[in-house]
Amino acid sequence: MPALPSLRPATRAVLMLVASIGFWSSNVVIVRAMGDAISPWLLSWLRWVIALAVALPLLWPAVRAAWPRLYANRRPLLWLAFSGFVANTVFLYVGLSDTTATNAAALLSLTPAWIMLAVCLSGTRLMPVQLAGLALSIAGSLVIVTQGQLASLLALDFNRGDIFVIISGMAWAAYTLLLRRLRGRLHPMVLMVALMAISVVMLLPVAIGSLWLEGLPTLGPGGWTAVMYVGICLSLLAYAFYNRAVSELGGARAGAFMNLMPGLAALESAVFLGEAFLPYHMAGMALILGGLWLASSRQAARFAARCLPRLHST
């Protein structure tokens, strides 16, 4: 079996995306399991403090050398930090206090729809096969969230938590598209450290307010271990993988992989929380994986270019 560095760049990017989505799918399970033990505002701040404390000493020489470029790109960096590190995290964690982990993961899988919509509005031409793959993968997400009873969509009740999770997905879509615009300007790891530092500053006032109103969280050793996992794996490794993959594949193709989240969240809930992994989970995952292949496969795109007309005339 070849070593990871010998793989093609696109293949490495896909593997990084799968790993990052695997980490993030565990995010909703862990945060939901923690319940009210820690404020979502404080947890949002702690995850970036922990990640920054690990990454900054390792990458400080590179960050210092890149300071002129960081300063020159300060405005897009502020928007990136706000959308992908602050708004995405806070709205998700607040939303998870009022909705289930599986439902939250399924709603987050709509993120590629927001990305595709923004791509279309920007004038980029999309292949019909890409839209077909997107529709197929979203259909798989709906199979999971409705437990295989698609007719129940007519009665789906979106509570406050669901709305917050949807806003979190929109924020992530904005982050993905903005990230693409910085391609080549900054090394992905330097960019990640800069965004972490900005996010820590942005979230500091609400973290202080949370401590003032609620006091220190009542977490045992297991709870603090979960917080460390959120800070290192979900914040440092997952974002590093995702940023690198977006620079290789582009925002639209990378965003399509968010549709893996509902199935992975259901699987992780079965393993760690004892929830059943039922046939509709398997059916949904099959649809999601099929849709991902259509949306991201170069072979599928070439086939569509020969057999199908483009959505927009030239």
3 state SS for 255-283: HHHHHHHHHHHHHHHHHHCCCCCCHHHHH
137 within domain boundaries: yes
What residues contact residue 209 under an 8 Å CB cut-off, 6+ apart?
41
Closest to 134 measured CA to CA, from 150, 148, 156, 117: 117
213 within domain boundaries: yes
2 within domain boundaries: no
What residues contact residue 45 under an 8 Å CB cut-off, 6+ apart?
200, 203, 204, 206, 207
Task: Give start and end residues of each alpha helix (H) in 66-110.
Answer: 67-72, 74-80, 88-95, 101-108
d(CA 223, CA 78): 31
pLDDT at 228: 94
162 within domain boundaries: yes
Q: Read off the pTM.
A: 0.77
Task: Give start and end residues of each alpha helix (H) in the chain.
Answer: 9-34, 40-65, 67-72, 74-80, 88-95, 101-108, 111-121, 128-145, 160-181, 188-214, 221-229, 238-249, 251-256, 261-272, 279-296, 298-307
pLDDT at 304: 47
d(CA 114, CA 43): 26
d(CA 204, CA 49): 10
20 within domain boundaries: yes
Do the beta carbons of residue 244 and residue 16 sit within 8 Å? Answer: yes
4 within domain boundaries: no
Residues in the chain predicted with pLDDT less than 70, given as ranges, are 1-6, 117, 120-126, 150-159, 251-252, 255, 259, 273, 275-276, 296-314
312 within domain boundaries: no
Structural domains of the chain, count? 1
pLDDT at 157: 52
Range of 167's domain?
9-307
155 within domain boundaries: yes
pLDDT at 314: 28
Please give the structure tokens belonging to residue 73: 């790109």
